[in-house]
Chain A
């Protein structure tokens, strides 16, 4: 098994995705299949195949230094689990010793 149901539940929590038990039952095996398939691709990568970081042969894709509209503050903060004074409120960053 490449990934367990518990690990998927953990990742979902980290990603702030509310997955129910039935969804986990459904998605965890699918993810397992995907990861196993990618692992098979890795098996064929040999010394003579250079690593590829990008799938398209493009370079220098730029935008001009021009302003675009921003989100309104309430839109920006809409997805935040907690908000205070127009800022994202996050749990204590460093653990107590």
Chain B
């Protein structure tokens, strides 16, 4: 018998567990909370050990539907996407989503430039209608000071009005972190620390947030998702490097990682397709592959746009948890002429 020297590493570090959503006992109104992170080994290194919490998927709903890709709109129907509260109820009750990412795209200064107050009211309404944990996204593309300021105002408004619900506020960046961090602590939420595909920037922002009194249990790291074909390799390697640092003991980055496969829908290959079916097939495939890449590089939370992607990615994760459904048999494959 040949001894196989398993490539087991002894890691001294551990990723913090971040709990999203507060139940009634915890001062919120959620039916349950979700825990992400807690990783002790690299994803799916079963020969080395196992991680306590499988990746969680949040399904996206928008407060205004103009920018939704056509196949997503078609899946839900125009009527539904025009009513974000009903839409949220639908994805929880009918699609079994365990978490929502409510995207307040209406506040973008370039488009509707809606008041933060109005956007936050919608979040309150959704919290009353559905009882799953929420991520709430303000302005994710912060290319100028106007966007930075508006995002900060929006997230603070949401934090205040949803006090105690342990919402995951997205995104907080190096441009403006103090106010949101303070509001996050005061109202007992957690936040996403977003930097631009750069390990040292991620370390810096996390350090600043920790200095401001946020604990690692309240921070989720977003290195920015370059989707498949549009910089996914940067995201992949930045996530891998951060996770390795965390496991090797760097306390400043021991937080769970979030990834946004939904960004895949911006690929040109998809929008250039003529038929809506073709668009959907290619879009879902891009989103699924981006999600798989995110999970294998250490992603603990995934934000997904198309419900079909949600189903497939859920099945992918399940293949690693319980009894696998997929069997691979090369002897059978050899005989199988089916095409």
The judgment on whether A and B are partners is no
Where the two chains meet, the residues of A that have a C-beta atom closer than 8 Å to any C-beta of B are none
